[in-house]
Amino acid sequence: MRDRLGRPPALLVLPAVLATLLLLVPLVAMVASTSWQDLPGHLTSRTALDALRISLVTSTVAIAACLLLGLPLAWLLARVDFRGRGALRALVTVPLVLPPVVAGVALRSAFGRTGLVGEPLLAWTGFAFPFTTWGVVLAHVFVSMPFVVIAIEGALRSADPRYDAAAATLGATRWTTFRRVTVPLALPGVVAGTVLGWARSLGEFGATITFNGNYPGTTQTMPTLIYVTRQSDQDAALSLSLLMLLVSIGVLIALRDHWLGTP
Amino acid sequence: MRAGRLVADLQVAGRVEAGFTAEPGEVLAVIGPNGAGKSSLLHAIAGLVDATGRARLGDTDLLALPVRERRVGLVFQGQLLFPHLTALDNVAFGLRARGASRAESEAVARDWLERFGIADLAGRRPRELSGGQAQRVAIARALATGPDVLLLDEPFTGLDVSVQMALRMELGRHLRDFPGVALLVTHDAIDALTLADRVLVLDGGRVAQVGPPAEVAAEPRTSHVARLVGLNLVADGDTLLAFPPDAVVVSLQEPEGSTRLRWRGPIATLAPHGDAVRLMVHASPDLLADLTPAAATELGLVPGREVWLSTKATAVSRYPARR
């Protein structure tokens, strides 16, 4: 180690090593205890494939909704000066720090069959979110939105607003400027926020199971399947977990330019 | 095209308070020291900063319009070319934004790139362009939309001297063809003298002087402009005295005779200037004096040394401080 300022002190190096081990050992242990000959069977079982399908579909639909609604919100927070902007930004971060199970309870209160919005919705349309795949999507949107909005707002903020001014002098409306200047300039951040939100959505457990229960084929996602499988079949739970680990690593690789690009 | 006379009397709080008029086809140079309010004035006309007062272009009240409807072409300091678009798409941007088809916009943009001699760079991104090329694209982008007013904010800043010269001549051609009002913010006397029909001098956010370049250069009313054109400027009551540094005599003893045109102070700086040595003396005000290297050596001039400066009345031009 070449460092002109002297050797890094053990008082700092030791905790750092410990921290690394704490993060690494569980993952290594999980991979090590996976039963490799049973793995293909576990991953191709009907319930596993259903859960994987529901996880992928709901996360993807949820992230599309997050982007459709969250990108405009991020733009408002980054580019428009209005009263209560600080309060709105704080509000956006609440689901980020809220225990997911509480998020599930809150969603129940709003969209449950007797909920504030859920009851009239049921009366008018005969549709209710809880215990449906749409309910899973709704829970995912609720927990992932903050990630998407905060990441994208940061990206929009770092895109120089003088480019917006230049576009305006050239005759562009704010919509044209948003579409052709602001978002393209912030695109790497927008993509990063989207992938981050998608990963959060894929791993979502607490709000989903509280709001929607755990019904194979409709609301059972990979995390909720792993949770119930673990109680009966440790090996199957390990196999499913390994699959999720691989997906997480995939996300990390997709984002490496943003987070791992700097040494 | 609403081309018409620009009549402006604008206030930007804490920045600038300036009234002026400019005729269609005229190039008005705006000069003044840093912080004089030059950029603020341009941005107020473009609508990018809040301004009060009035700005009429022909029959149109500019202040009542949002930025995108003012039809003002602004060439920003630092260009601000869209980094994710090619040179061609940058120039075509304004036309597309105003509703022209892609093909039509690109044809017009290509034509503008050709006029600036950079058609071969159409496919390049701004980061792949040199400073001079990028500035050409920026000017083409502003002109391509056919603006009624063209605003140029220090278009030569940050370019190599040789590039500046070439671009200045080129811009001069385009400005002659431009039918509307053009405002050129610059801190370079050469720009004002070669490109402008009239010069507007800003000082401390206010208009200090307006006039043809030759007149402003011969009878500057601010020390900033006097420095730009290389003159000493001394206020004497309501009269201003201007005289060139090479008409100043430097001596160690108080000069003989009854002339009032003498000053005393320490030498601030001493530097070669062409064939001469140029002194800056902290008299009141600061004065420049040119003398031969031999004379500077003989007098033993070094920074900090007290000297007397004097000049002959015949070398001085006198004019009223206020018109």
Cβ contact (<8 Å) for B93 and A185?
Answer: no
pLDDT above 50 (res A73): yes
Interface contact A168, partner B, CB < 8 A: yes
Which chain B residue has its CA at the smallest distance from A175's CA?
B97
Is A38 within a domain? no
pLDDT value, residue A39: 87
CB contact under 8 A, B93 and A165: no
User: At B292, is the pLDDT very low, low, confident or very high (cuts 50, 70, 90)?
Assistant: very high
What DSSP state is assigned to residue B291? E
pLDDT single digits (tens) B232-259: 999 888 899 999 999 999 999 888 876 6
Kindly determine whether residue B93 and residue A172, on different chains, have CB atoms separated by under 8 Å: yes
Instruction: Check whether A259 has a pLDDT greater than 80.
Output: no
In a domain, A260, yes or no: no
- Taking the Cβ of residue A176 and every Cβ of chain B, the question of whether any pair is shorter than 8 Å is answered with yes
Residue among A169, A176, A184 whose CB faces B46 most closely: A169
The C-alpha atoms of residue B203 and residue B205 are separated, in whole angstroms, by 5
Confidence category of residue B313, pLDDT binned at 50, 70, 90: confident
Phi and psi dihedrals of B149, rounded to 5? -130, 135
pLDDT, tens digit, 9 for 90 and up, residues A198-246:
988 998 999 999 999 888 888 999 999 999 998 888 888 999 999 888 8
Q: For the domain that residue A110 is a member of, what is the CATH number?
A: 1.10.3720.10
d(CA A157, CA A176): 18
Which chain B positions have a beta carbon within 8 Å of A165's beta carbon? 48, 67, 80
> Does A166 contact B at CB distance below 8 Å?
yes
Higher pLDDT, B34 or B93: B93
In the predicted model, is pLDDT for residue A262 greater than 50?
Answer: no
Q: Does residue A34 lie within any of the structural domains?
A: no
Size of interface A-B (CB pairs under 8 A): 59
Q: Over 50: is that where the pLDDT of A261 sits?
A: no
Find how far residue B66's CA is from the centre of its chain: 27
Q: Quick one: DSSP state of residue B209?
A: E
| Domain topology for B6-223 | Rossmann fold (3.40.50)
Q: Do B97 and A167 touch (CB under 8 A)?
A: yes
According to the model, what pLDDT value does residue A250 have? Answer: 83
**Domain locations in chain B as residue ranges:** 6-223, 232-320
- For all residues of chain B together, what is the average pLDDT? 91
Share of chain A above pLDDT 90, in %: 70
- Residue B32 and residue B49: Cα distance in Å, rounded? 20
Which of A162, A164, A170 to mutate to probe the B interface, most B CBs <10 Å?
Answer: A170
Nearest CA-CA distance, residue A153 and chain B, Å: 19
**Encoded tokens for B313:** 């009345």
Over A89-145, what HEC string results?
HHHHHHHHHCCHHHHHHHHHHHHCCCCCCHHHHHHHHCCCCCCCHHHHHHHHHHHHH
C-beta of residue A51 within 8 angstroms of C-beta of residue A216: yes
pLDDT confidence of residue B78: 86
Q: Specify whether the CB–CB gap between B265 and B307 falls below 8 A.
A: yes
Interfacial residues of B (vs A; Cβ cutoff 8 Å) = 46-48, 66-74, 76, 80, 82-84, 93-94, 96-98, 141-142, 145
Domain B232-320: state its class.
mainly beta
Residue A187 distance to chain B (closest CA, Å): 10
Residue B77 backbone phi and psi in degrees, to 5: -65, 130
Contact A169 B73 (CB under 8 A): yes
Cβ A170 vs Cβ A229: under 8 Å: no
Encoded tokens for B16:
């600038």
Chain A nearest-CA residue for B91: A170
A64 in contact with chain B, both atoms CB, cutoff 8 A: no
pLDDT at position B2 is 55
Cβ of B82 within 8 Å of Cβ of A176? The answer is: no
* Residue A77, domain member (yes or no): yes
Give the E-state strand segments of B212-286 in sequence order.
Answer: 232-236, 239-243, 248-251, 262-273, 276-281
Go through chain B and tell me how many residues it has. 323
pLDDT at A25: 96
The reported pLDDT for the residue numbered A1 is 56
Same fold, B6-223 and B232-320: no
Q: Would you call A49 an interface residue with chain B, using a CB distance cutoff of 8 Å?
A: no
Min Cα–Cα distance to chain B from A173, Å? 7
Task: Please indicate, yes or no, if residue A87 is contained in any of the structural domains.
Answer: yes
Instruction: Check: pTM over 0.90? Answer yes or no.
Output: no
Show the domain range for A52. 43-255
Which carries the bigger pLDDT value, residue A83 or residue A254?
A83
Of B69, B70, B82, the CB nearest to A163: B82
Residue of A nearest to B140 (CA): A170
Does a structural domain hold residue A61?
yes
Which of A170, A184, A187 has its CB closest to that of B145?
A170
Look at residue A263 in the predicted model and tell me its pLDDT: 39
- The structural domain count of chain A equals 1
The answer to whether A180 contacts B71, with C-beta atoms less than 8 Å apart, is: no
A158 in contact with B at a CB cutoff of 8 Å? no
Report the distance separating Cα A139 and Cα A58, nearest Å. Answer: 10
CA distance B119 to B87: 9
* Nearby residues of B54 by Cβ (< 8 Å), 6 or more positions away: B7, B8, B9, B10, B61, B63
Taking contacts as CB-CB distances below 8 angstroms, the residues of chain B near A161 are none
Residue A260 has pLDDT above 70, yes or no: no
pLDDT at A257 over 70: no
The residue of chain A with its CA nearest to that of B151 is A169
Q: Please report whether residue A213 resides in a domain.
A: yes
pLDDT tens figures, B118-169: 999 999 999 999 999 999 999 999 999 999 999 999 999 888 888 898 899 9
In a domain, A8, yes or no: no
What ipTM was reported for this prediction?
0.84
Share of chain A above pLDDT 70, in %: 97
